[in-house]
Chain A
Amino acid sequence: MKRFSTLLRVTTLATLLGTALTLATAAQQAAKVDPKIVDAYIKGTWKSPPEGWQVRIDQDETQRVCSAYRNDPPTAEFEKIRARELATVVFPADGTVLGDWKAGERVAQTGVGGQFSDAPGTVAGGNCYACHQMAKAELSYGTLGPSLLEYGKIRKFDAAESKQAYAKIFNAQSVQPCSNMPRFGYHKFLTEQQMKDVTAYLMSPDSPVNK
């Protein structure tokens, strides 16, 4: 038992050291090219984007910092991002973050919208299933994000938790700077109603997510 825990501690230490080393190399690699040169390549790769699409090529400050630190910014930058992103979160004016979970299921299932191959006017989906397990019956889910199975049930359908989930969907980085999850409300990728609906899909007792 004692030997086992020593072994465990040694392994943990090794892992920590390994991580530190990896981070150090990652930072070195990130620093080795002048961002101006990268920008020139980016310009040359998208010479004449469609009207209104240039903003998608240019990075905002958060994207820039997260890219430079490979999603692992030092504490000061981490806090700056959290404060900046938190300031963008707008809660629904009517005071409720819960919409219709059935409509929310469509938002979670739909992966189209915003792609250059989409017909104009395509209603965008949140594509949550690309990254998350949600309802038990849906087996076609991705694993880039954690499982959200029984999300509301685990949180006892608590109102404050619903609000927190809405904020997460509106701007994932207001909770977790440099998260891989898209900032759906910040980019106006989803509408307020869609975000309410998908919050209900997570938090409603009737939703298949909680069955």
Chain B
Amino acid sequence: MLDHVRQGTRLGWTICVSVTLTVMLLQIGTAVAQSADTSEKEIERYRAMISDPFSNPGYLNVDRGELLWKQAAGTKKVSLETCDLGIGPGKLEGASAAMPRHFADAGRVMDLEQRLLWCMENIQGADTKDVIKRRFSGPGVSSDMEDLVAFISNKSSGLKISLRNDHPKEQEMLAVGEAMFFRRSSISDFSCATCHAEEGKRIRLQGLPNLSKPGKQAQETMGSWPTYRVSQSQLRTMQHRLWDCYRQMRMPAPDYASDGITALTLYLNTQAAGAEINVPSIKR
């Protein structure tokens, strides 16, 4: 799978695609100034283009993630290949589709990122400080977590989101996630529901999915993460998305891989039950 020639070609594409998309984004900006009608059409054209999997740089992360999964590391010098993501050691197909979930060995509910950190520490004997420091990629800094999540989630593409939620701790997380979704705070009095509880609303020109009830909008949203974000030129995970929404809420940055973020993710994935997974996707 790790054919360097192909990677090289992909990199070439990536740059080319990124430039094209950036130009299109700029064009949309201008179009908006001209007329709402033209901008609608431009946005449509742009959406069609970014949903083409062959122009999705997120697949570079998938390839890097596969390398990381198989690479021996940590004090025990072993790979992550025996990590149990809930369906048996090393089993990947469908694993992320059923997360967050309760893990008996850890005695906790975990999302994919928390579980990967747990496996790094407990199977590889690795120090995760550096991995956590690079949790979100930036210019010149890659993120092992983003790469691993891209690789592992991609193994659930074509499957459906399906959480069991039958453990008492999972039920607690579901209830807490729901409460956090409606919890208003900070200097703008926002909760998630301020922006995500009605259909057809926009903030400026950005459409906002209604995530407050089960159904199509929650499904389309949650079935498409992780995603390659064109505006940031990076692959992003749900940890990053919620970090970014809390930024807009004028809250302090939530701790990475903390239980509150997992509770929200569990709630959102429960609203999205039955969603077809198609990742990594590509978005604005």
Q: Which of B13-21, B82-90, B220-228, B257-265 has 4 or more CB atoms under 8 Å from chain A?
A: B257-265
Are A114 and B250 in contact, with the CB atoms below 8 A?
yes
Are B180 and A38 in contact, with the CB atoms below 8 A?
yes
Given the interface pairs A37-B172, A57-B252, A63-B185, the reply to whether A117 lies near B247 with Cβ below 8 Å is yes
Are A37 and B254 in contact, with the CB atoms below 8 A?
no
Are B176 and A38 in contact, with the CB atoms below 8 A?
yes
User: A44 at the A/B interface (Cβ < 8 Å)?
Assistant: yes
Chain B: residues with Cβ within 8 Å of the partner, total of 45
User: A6 at the A/B interface (Cβ < 8 Å)?
Assistant: no
Q: Which of B69-77, B92-100, B189-197, B275-283 has 4 or more CB atoms under 8 Å from chain A?
A: B189-197
CA distance A172 to B234 in the complex (A): 38
* Number of CB contacts from chain A to chain B under 8 A: 125
Q: Select B183's contact among A37, A67, A143, beta carbons within 8 Å.
A: A67
Mark B183-210 against chain A: 1 for CB-CB distance below 8 A, else 0: 1111111110111000011111110100
Chain A: residues with Cβ within 8 Å of the partner, total of 46
Given the interface pairs A45-B260, A67-B191, A140-B205, the reply to whether A116 lies near B184 with Cβ below 8 Å is no
Are A30 and B32 in contact, with the CB atoms below 8 A?
no
User: A93 at the A/B interface (Cβ < 8 Å)?
Assistant: no
Which B residues have a C-beta under 8 Å from some C-beta of A?
32-33, 35-36, 39, 172, 175-176, 178-180, 182-191, 193-195, 200-206, 208, 247-248, 250-255, 258-261, 263
Known interface pairs A57-B185, A130-B204; 7 further A-B residue pairs with C-beta atoms within 8 A, sorted by A's residue number = A37-B172, A41-B259, A45-B259, A57-B251, A114-B187, A140-B204, A144-B202
Which A residues have a C-beta under 8 Å from some C-beta of B?
29-30, 32-33, 35, 37-38, 41-42, 44-47, 49-50, 53, 56-59, 63, 66-67, 70-71, 111, 114-117, 129-131, 139-144, 180-183, 187-189
